[in-house]
Chains A and B, each alone.
Chain A
Amino acid sequence: MASSAAASSEEAVKAAKVLMVGAGGIGCELLKTLALSGFRDIHIIDLDTIEVSNLNRQFLFRQSHVGQSKAHVARDAVLKFRPNINITSYHANVKDTQFNVEFFKQFNVVLNGLDNLDARRHVNRLCLAAEVPLVESGTTGFLGQVTVHVKGKTECYECEPKPVPKSYPVCTITSTPSKFVHCIVWAKELLFAKLFGDKNQDNDLNVHSNENGTSKSDVFERNADEDLEQYARRIYDHVFGYNIEVALENEETWKNRRRPNPIYIRDTLPEEDIRQNGSSRDCNNDQEDPSAMASLGLTNPQEIWNLADNSRVFLESLRLFFEKREKEVGNLIFDKDDQLAVEFVTAAANIRASSFGIPLHSLFEAKGVAGNIVHAVATTNAIVAGLIVIEAIKVLQGDYKRYRMTYCLEHPSRKMLLMPVEPFEPNKLCYVCSETPLLVEVNTKTTKLREVIDKIIKGKLGMNLPLVMIGSTLVFEDGDGLEEDEAANYALNLEKFLAELPAPVVDGTKLTVEDFHQELSCSINIKHSFVSCATQPSEKVLEVLPELYGVVVYTYRYMLLDEFDEEKEPDGMVLTGWSAPVEKQVTSNGGNQSVASSSGADDADGIIEDLSTKPGMKRKLDEILETKENCDASSSAQVVEDYDDDDIVMLDEDPALAKKKRLQ
């Protein structure tokens, strides 16, 4: 006998063709639940390959699958217990042009189990263009959410502004760190990049030294006669000692701040003379992946090393990079799965932290911060996948009155672990699903077209291959297949200030921006702002604030940076209708060293760990949990008042059960 819920939906499920985007934490659970629920035609796209740290929750994968395509392996695993269904897997990026609007149109519903904001926004746009309903999801730790987006019926994924990468003022990173994450960003984005990365990249580290009257242009250059041990010690003294002394000379900076202590190697490791390049140590590091921890006999990544140990790890990891991985030096980019890189960054961040009186952290913790590792457990993904399927079935039945957004909580709150909320109607002012123009406030005389395209059109509006028109003049187009002269012309335009473009952009000019792949078009009204960057161009911070009614304000904030304290004023200005962005990235003069992908922090997905691009993510989770705890406390205080509201009473609070009273 067929059960009622199944009976009414069985046909819809059998006939449905669904697209799953993402075969990670949520994806594995979702594919399994879809197959069990009777879905017979499932397409799945995922770009990633399997890693060891996936195995604790992505249960379709085994140790032997490490390195293989998630989409393909997930497909094969599910076919083992449901051999008679069709699963089509794509080991590809959902942003590839093969997945165009036509491709999306063949599906009855699209289910997202994605790990970044960028791809989510992209899929949202394609679903809107193809008019295919979208069920969106995300998890972080025990928290999760499932939402339904159906064009014209509910709001789209982008009707609410999403948190976007925010800048740490450069000076917080280079001069006045106050949190461990600032030290991590410094160690990873500046010091690591300077020592082991591309030498041609802009870098805000002070590389000059007047020590010993040398006129060396860049102290990071290794002298011809310098052995590695000497070099490592010189770098140590420069970045932790000399640079701090230089910073201390600026009395203004330290008026209201704790003064940092310069740290020199002779003080931290006085007993250790420059070692002979030890053959004894090398024997520990014959394996393929050299590790400073291994050489130094440090075994516990949970342990917080003291300053001396951190200094040893610093010197040793630096030495190992130059000695064992010489070929990579100059091309390295920090990777959370690179043990030696994590060791170096942990040690450097900790030494800097001790200098600034910031508590030190273990390698395990530092790796989480540096790699923006998202906390993930199997259970939340399983619950979220179940909720996705329940919503997908409603969507297939066109039962839109019963659509729900559902939030998973860590602890019962108002006696609920899962919270259903009625979906909101579309935001008429959303630039993605309606035609509301955006407003961008910008100094048209000092801003280049390139900045507007990179930072706003791509960075904030999430377009891939944009085209920009001013009136009827095409000033820029992206993508392949351009004529050579066109391409050259566009390249020229990119470097022009807005006011100097073939069709000048002035106050009140309207730009039309389009992305053919996403089938998205929107208008941007320009407001000229008189802010000038002349005073302290090196300190300018670029910031875009999606604002009230979808308005985007683009400003140069350069002026108050010395007084600017992002702790006190997380946004430094009054925002309207917008929630504080939680992601951080270093922004340096002009060159936006975007360490952050545009992944939104609210995405709270359990499968983000591969993006070494989400600084602030860990911090964010802690804050969520912490704030939530505050809420729990207040909500329990509420219980008494709300008793009449009859939805808060518990069995164990029933007066009839005196012995079952709760002890708190």
Chain B
Amino acid sequence: MGCGGSAEEELTAQEMALYDRQIRVWGVDAQKRLSKAHVLVCGMNGTTTEFCKNIVLAGVGSLSLMDDHLVTEDDLYANFLIPHDESIYGGRSRAEVCCESLKDFNPMVRVAVEKGDPSQISGEYLEKFDIIVVSCASIKTKLLINDHCRKRTKHIAFYTIECKDSCGEIFVDLQNHSYVQKVGGEPKPKELTYPSLQEAISVPWKNLPRKTTKLYFAMRVLENYELSEGRSAFEASLSDLPAVLALRKEMCDKMSLSESQIPTSLLERLLAAGMKQHPPVSAILGGILGQEVVKAISGKGDPIKNFFYYDAADGVIIIGTTRIGHTVLQAKERRAMRPITLLPRGKGIEGYCFQQGTKFRGDRLQLTGKFNYLTLLYLATPQMPLLGLYL
């Protein structure tokens, strides 16, 4: 494969026409960088499928898929790249079948199959790529690949993504990442230093923020269970619950964490899910990851710092290892808001009429500037005197 990425200096007219709408979002330079980036995805499932679709449409240089598992009927659920026709998928690997469908999505992107076992990947092999995404692999494999990435001189971005039922986790390691973030309209160079996966999951639990999402702990318990049992990822099922609960107790005791932080119901839900992924959650996770990979390649915009969590059942969305519960606003709070006066021209707020605009009903408001919905959201939490707007 190799996918040498012989991207020309200027985008062709064909590329300009195809990518017009997104170039207006991230610029020509980002598009050129995308067209030179090589991405490897290990593990094809509903969620990585969504991710692959997104970056193929975005126009990466090449996408390589590694998953030797033969397609079974189970794979059809949540995967729109596999046709419902055994004569097509029968006897072929997930990577082969998905590759074929993905090629159609964008003729300008090279999509190829990489045969092999992610747990046997060498560091040298990874040098062919700029981005590695691992899914459906054991924690051991993930740690190994992450370690390989970190030891190469070439900068290789590492991601893991897992979806179980309606829960999702993304981990990001960009090592030392330099990027540009606009602050007040001015592009400002920034730099981030990431912890490795090993470092991130080794933080003593008692040192973690009080509101760290329960999903974070639950995922660590399951990982450890799979590791101690020597089973491959996601093979655990509901019948393993008693053993998992025992491990929960052991880990919580060791880490001085109350067991109530990892509810049995959550572990049950994750075990019952097995390999099953809730398609809308896959779409959301695959979308978020796609967006993050574009940010990493283009060096534009604040990336996720390390973990991203999503749980549709909970209706709570978290990034970082903390749970953000307070942003679900109470209607009463909103109605009780006092009027605001807006401030210096140009700095202010434009009526970007989100529902939050409601809070301005009932009082006079002189609009002299520009609103934005973020501001409005913040305004809705009384403790946030954002931009000094709040009276």
A642 within 8 A of B: yes
Nearest A residue to B366, CB-CB: A574
Q: Are B20 and A412 in contact (CB under 8 A)?
A: no
Nearest B residue to A423, CB-CB: B355
Taking a contact as CB atoms closer than 8 A, the residue among A4, A55, A380, A632 that contacts B291 in the complex is A380
B80 within 8 A of A: yes
Interface centre among B287, B290, B306 (most CB of A within 10 A): B287
A300 within 8 A of B: yes
Q: Are A660 and B193 in contact (CB under 8 A)?
A: yes
For A429, what are the chain B residues with a Cβ–Cβ distance below 8 Å?
Answer: 361
Closest chain-B Cβ to A513's Cβ sits at a distance in Å of 23
Closest chain-B Cβ to A64's Cβ sits at a distance in Å of 10
- Whole-angstrom CA separation of A186 from B371 in the bound complex: 27
For A549, what are the chain B residues with a Cβ–Cβ distance below 8 Å?
Answer: 361
Nearest A residue to B166, CB-CB: A5
Nearest A residue to B238, CB-CB: A1
Q: Are B54 and A402 in contact (CB under 8 A)?
A: no
Nearest A residue to B384, CB-CB: A638
Are A600 and B317 also in contact (CB < 8 A) when A59-B105, A414-B327 are?
no
Nearest B residue to A83, CB-CB: B84
A634 within 8 A of B: yes
Taking a contact as CB atoms closer than 8 A, the residue among B58, B195, B310, B354 that contacts A657 in the complex is B195
A645 within 8 A of B: yes
For A424, what are the chain B residues with a Cβ–Cβ distance below 8 Å?
Answer: 331, 334, 355, 358
B43 within 8 A of A: no
For B70, what are the chain A residues with a Cβ–Cβ distance below 8 Å?
Answer: none
For A420, what are the chain B residues with a Cβ–Cβ distance below 8 Å?
Answer: 315-317, 327-328
B254 within 8 A of A: no
- Whole-angstrom CA separation of A620 from B364 in the bound complex: 24
Q: Are B22 and A56 in contact (CB under 8 A)?
A: yes
A397 within 8 A of B: no
Q: Are B21 and A53 in contact (CB under 8 A)?
A: yes
For A364, what are the chain B residues with a Cβ–Cβ distance below 8 Å?
Answer: 16, 23
A296 within 8 A of B: no
For B284, what are the chain A residues with a Cβ–Cβ distance below 8 Å?
Answer: 382-383, 386-387, 390, 418
Q: Are A3 and B278 in contact (CB under 8 A)?
A: yes
Could you tell me how many residues of chain B have their Cβ less than 8 Å away from some Cβ of chain A?
Answer: 138
A102 within 8 A of B: no
- Whole-angstrom CA separation of A162 from B352 in the bound complex: 9
- Whole-angstrom CA separation of A379 from B294 in the bound complex: 10
Closest chain-A Cβ to B191's Cβ sits at a distance in Å of 5
Q: Are B183 and A632 in contact (CB under 8 A)?
A: yes
B281 within 8 A of A: yes
The stretch from B111-119, B136-144, B152-160, B374-382 touching chain A is B374-382
- Whole-angstrom CA separation of A405 from B17 in the bound complex: 34
- Whole-angstrom CA separation of A663 from B325 in the bound complex: 28
For A15, what are the chain B residues with a Cβ–Cβ distance below 8 Å?
Answer: none
Are A427 and B358 also in contact (CB < 8 A) when A1-B272, A634-B386 are?
yes
Contact code string B38-76 (vs A, CB < 8 Å = 1, else 0):
000000001000100110011100000000000000000
Q: Are B351 and A385 in contact (CB under 8 A)?
A: no
Q: Which B residues between 255 and 302 are near A, CB-CB below 8 angstroms?
A: 268-269, 272-274, 276, 278-284, 286-288, 290-291, 294, 301-302
- Whole-angstrom CA separation of A2 from B276 in the bound complex: 8
Closest chain-B Cβ to A208's Cβ sits at a distance in Å of 38
For B369, what are the chain A residues with a Cβ–Cβ distance below 8 Å?
Answer: 570
Taking a contact as CB atoms closer than 8 A, the residue among A380, A383, A638 that contacts B386 in the complex is A638
Are A52 and B279 also in contact (CB < 8 A) when A4-B272, A580-B371 are?
no
Taking a contact as CB atoms closer than 8 A, the residue among A52, A407, A628 that contacts B17 in the complex is A52
Q: Are A147 and B290 in contact (CB under 8 A)?
A: no
A662 within 8 A of B: yes
- Whole-angstrom CA separation of A145 from B374 in the bound complex: 12
A601 within 8 A of B: yes
Contact code string B311-325 (vs A, CB < 8 Å = 1, else 0):
011011111111111
Taking a contact as CB atoms closer than 8 A, the residue among B210, B324, B351, B356 that contacts A415 in the complex is B324
Q: Are B195 and A382 in contact (CB under 8 A)?
A: no
- Whole-angstrom CA separation of A421 from B381 in the bound complex: 11
Are A624 and B372 also in contact (CB < 8 A) when A5-B312, A386-B281 are?
yes
A301 within 8 A of B: yes
- Whole-angstrom CA separation of A618 from B353 in the bound complex: 16
A33 within 8 A of B: yes
For A145, what are the chain B residues with a Cβ–Cβ distance below 8 Å?
Answer: 354
- Whole-angstrom CA separation of A73 from B301 in the bound complex: 35
For A407, what are the chain B residues with a Cβ–Cβ distance below 8 Å?
Answer: 354, 373, 377
Q: Are A577 and B276 in contact (CB under 8 A)?
A: no
Q: Are A416 and B195 in contact (CB under 8 A)?
A: no
- Whole-angstrom CA separation of A82 from B24 in the bound complex: 34
Q: Are A5 and B165 in contact (CB under 8 A)?
A: yes
Q: Are A80 and B83 in contact (CB under 8 A)?
A: yes
Are A649 and B353 also in contact (CB < 8 A) when A59-B105, A427-B361 are?
no
Q: Are A163 and B193 in contact (CB under 8 A)?
A: no
Are A410 and B278 also in contact (CB < 8 A) when A1-B238, A4-B272, A417-B288 are?
no
Interface centre among A35, A418, A575, A651 (most CB of B within 10 A): A651
Q: Are B17 and A53 in contact (CB under 8 A)?
A: yes
Q: Are B203 and A373 in contact (CB under 8 A)?
A: no
- Whole-angstrom CA separation of A5 from B328 in the bound complex: 21
A522 within 8 A of B: no
Are A577 and B362 also in contact (CB < 8 A) when A36-B279, A37-B280, A645-B326 are?
yes
Q: Are B25 and A376 in contact (CB under 8 A)?
A: yes
The stretch from B226-234, B241-249, B342-350 touching chain A is B342-350
Q: Are A579 and B374 in contact (CB under 8 A)?
A: no
Q: Are A160 and B21 in contact (CB under 8 A)?
A: no
- Whole-angstrom CA separation of A385 from B284 in the bound complex: 8
Q: Are B194 and A652 in contact (CB under 8 A)?
A: yes
B2 within 8 A of A: no
A648 within 8 A of B: yes
Taking a contact as CB atoms closer than 8 A, the residue among B50, B302, B324 that contacts A647 in the complex is B324
Q: Are A579 and B305 in contact (CB under 8 A)?
A: no
Are A579 and B350 also in contact (CB < 8 A) when A374-B21, A654-B207 are?
yes
For B81, what are the chain A residues with a Cβ–Cβ distance below 8 Å?
Answer: 81
A425 within 8 A of B: yes
Are A383 and B24 also in contact (CB < 8 A) when A418-B317, A579-B353, A660-B199 are?
no
Nearest A residue to B82, CB-CB: A81
- Whole-angstrom CA separation of A410 from B372 in the bound complex: 13
Are A628 and B374 also in contact (CB < 8 A) when A378-B58, A579-B357 are?
yes
Q: Which B residues between 165 and 216 are near A, CB-CB below 8 angstroms?
A: 165-166, 181-185, 190-195, 199-200, 203-204, 207-211
For A84, what are the chain B residues with a Cβ–Cβ distance below 8 Å?
Answer: 84
A582 within 8 A of B: yes
B307 within 8 A of A: yes
Taking a contact as CB atoms closer than 8 A, the residue among A390, A580, A623, A660 that contacts B195 in the complex is A660
For A562, what are the chain B residues with a Cβ–Cβ distance below 8 Å?
Answer: none
- Whole-angstrom CA separation of A664 from B278 in the bound complex: 37
A121 within 8 A of B: no
Q: Are B18 and A160 in contact (CB under 8 A)?
A: no
Nearest A residue to B302, CB-CB: A411
Interface centre among B184, B320, B374 (most CB of A within 10 A): B374
Q: Are B50 and A382 in contact (CB under 8 A)?
A: yes
Closest chain-B Cβ to A368's Cβ sits at a distance in Å of 6
Nearest A residue to B386, CB-CB: A634
A581 within 8 A of B: yes
Taking a contact as CB atoms closer than 8 A, the residue among B24, B77, B377 that contacts A373 in the complex is B24
Contact code string A299-341 (vs B, CB < 8 Å = 1, else 0):
0111000000000000000000000000000000000000000
Are A579 and B352 also in contact (CB < 8 A) when A416-B324, A418-B317 are?
yes
Contact code string A621-658 (vs B, CB < 8 Å = 1, else 0):
00111111111111100100010011111111011110
Q: Which 10 A-B pairs have the closest CB atoms?
A: A579-B351, A386-B283, A383-B287, A649-B209, A36-B279, A382-B287, A386-B284, A389-B280, A3-B165, A627-B372
Additional A-B contact list (13), CB under 8 Å, known A421-B328, A580-B351: A81-B82, A377-B294, A405-B355, A419-B317, A582-B352, A606-B21, A620-B352, A624-B350, A624-B352, A626-B182, A627-B349, A635-B386, A647-B326
